[in-house]
Amino acid sequence: MKKTFRLLSLLALFSCSEGEEYADIPEPLAITWKAPKNINLEKGETKTFTPEVSNINDKTVFYWKQEGLVIAQTQALEFSKRSAGTYRLAFYAQNEHSKDSVTFSVTVSSSQPANSDAYISEVFEYLPAPGQFINTSIGNKNSGEKLIGENSGEISLGGFGGRVVAGFNHNISNREGEDFIIYGNVFRRKGKEINSEPGIVWIMQDENGNGKPDDTWYQIKGEAHSDKGVVYNYEITYTRPSTKKGDIKWTDNQNGSGSIPHNQFHDQTYFPLWLESNTLTLSGTLLPHRTTINKDGHSISRWYGKGYADNTHGGDRIDISWAADAKGNPVNLPHIRFIKIQNAVNHSTGRLGEISTEVAGIADLSLIE
Ligand SMILES: [Ca+2]
Ligand SMILES: [Ca+2]
Ligand SMILES: [Ca+2]
């Protein structure tokens, strides 16, 4: 008897609410998960997960759990791990009416060989332009080798267009943010760079897998690349002087000419002695100089913004995502193996001689941080 009464009451309640409130019952929250349930990531790689959720209202809250512990309370999760392993993640959406969740796993591993060297392992070409440090210990035929390894030494690229081509023994992944660092010899005074000598940075994948830089170069488009006075495909020809202490005469493809003057501080001849030809033609992107002479007579060369070598005190961090193709359009390279650095400025200052990019080592940031 008692049981029948309770059942009747429930039926009465149900029939009453069905008619009057059916239209007000909100659709339940629903998460749409488009990614796979098992996701693979490289060590250090960052991935942002933003699950789609329908029927949210202003009381809806989101949270993420990893191995059962809440790690975020946002709809989007930026996920990155430095240790290999499988991570179990769950995403929840909840409000006063309903709740939905999705679980998935992320496997973090390293595709790099165990013997990946954080620093340059091979130098393929060192061709400096003439300059005051050429034919000294930082500008000899074999000086490029100094860039190899952790205790790398400094080399000079000489005047405009001088270059070095180097490579790693593994691919550097294009992770979130900057990927490699180029060390130079820039000083700061009162928090500002005073002797930036920018080198254009080029990067290359080993597309054909032969371990050699014979694929496509992409130029890092630094912050000064759109400045007035930038010349793409600038070309300069230097001529070997007839006397040991002769100035280095040059002409360019903009109807310009001039010289790198021999100075009293560096006595040796400035044209690379190991070259057979009496002229040297180099081309690349020209950046206008930023050199001024201060009231004490010192020349100051200001910072060029991000995206150049020998430009920032402590080293220049470069993001592979800053690369551009030959037309200047952005390219999205997943990884790179080779780096070319080329002096971008054609300018001689009084006491300091010509602006000359120095390179003192290059490192894969994912292996040193
Ligand atoms: Ca990057
Ligand atoms: Ca290759
Ligand atoms: Ca320098």
pTM beyond 0.85: no
Span from the CA of 231 to the centroid of ligand 1 (angstroms) = 26
CA of 313 to the centre of ligand 3 (A): 10
Using an 8 Å Cβ cutoff, are 71 and 88 in contact? no
Kindly give the distance from the C-alpha atom of residue 127 to the centroid of ligand 2, in angstroms, as a whole number: 20
Question: Ligand 1: distance of its center to the CA of 178 in Å?
Answer: 5
Q: Is 79 helix (H, G, I), strand (E, B) or coil?
A: strand
Question: 21-57 burial, b if ≥16 CB within 10 A, otherwise e?
Answer: eeeeeeeebebeeeeeeebebbbbbeeebebebeeee
What pairing do the DSSP bridges indicate for beta strands 279-286 and 231-239? antiparallel
pLDDT reported for residue 17: 47
Q: Please give the distance, rounded to the nearest whole angstrom, from the Cα atom of residue 320 to the centre of ligand 1.
A: 5
Q: What digits encode the pLDDT tens for the residues 257-266?
A: 999 999 999 9
Indicate the domain borders of the chain.
26-109, 122-368
Predicted pLDDT of residue 21: 52
Neighbouring C-alpha atoms within 13 Å toward the C-beta of 70:
9
Ligand nearest to C-alpha 182: 3
Q: What is the whole-number distance in angstroms between the Cα of residue 322 and the centre of ligand 1?
A: 8
What is the per-residue pLDDT for 25? 77
Distance in Å, CA 47 to ligand 1 centroid? 12
The ligand placed nearest to the CA atom of residue 210 is: 2
Question: Which ligand has the shortest distance to the CA of 198?
Answer: 3
Q: What's residue 19's pLDDT?
A: 46
Task: Compute the distance from residue 335 Cα to the ligand 1 centre, in Å.
Answer: 9
Q: Note the CATH number of domain 26-109.
A: 2.60.40.10
- 132 CA to centre of ligand 3 in angstroms: 12
pLDDT tens track for 265-300: 999 999 999 999 999 999 999 999 999 988 888 889
- Which listed ligand is nearest to 206 at the C-alpha? 2
Give distance in angstroms: CA of 289 to centre of ligand 1: 28
Neighbours of 98 (CB within 10 A): 14
Give CA separation, 108 vs 22, 88, 90, 317, in Å.
47, 11, 16, 24
Ligand nearest to the CA of 319: 1
Task: Write out the residues surrounding ion ligand 2, Cβ under 5 A.
Answer: 206, 208, 210, 212, 214-215
Ligand 3 centroid vs 196 CA: distance in angstroms?
Answer: 6
Ligand 3 center to residue 312 CA distance, Å?
10
Radius of gyration of the chain (CA): 30
Q: In this structure, are residues 57 and 30 in contact, taking their beta carbons and an 8 Å threshold?
A: no
Distance 167 CA to ligand 3 centre (A): 21
- The ligand whose atoms approach the alpha carbon of 301 most closely is 3
Closest ligand to C-alpha of residue 341 is 3
Q: What are phi and psi of 3, to 5 degrees?
A: -60, -45
CA torsion through residues 199, 200, 205, 209, sign = negative
Spans of the chain, pLDDT less than 50: 1-19
List CB contacts of 323: < 8 A, sequence separation 6 or more: 203, 218, 219, 220, 221, 330, 331, 333
> Which pLDDT value is given to residue 8?
45
Cα 220 to Cα 324: distance, rounded to the nearest angstrom: 6
Helices (H) then strands (E): counts for the chain: 2, 31
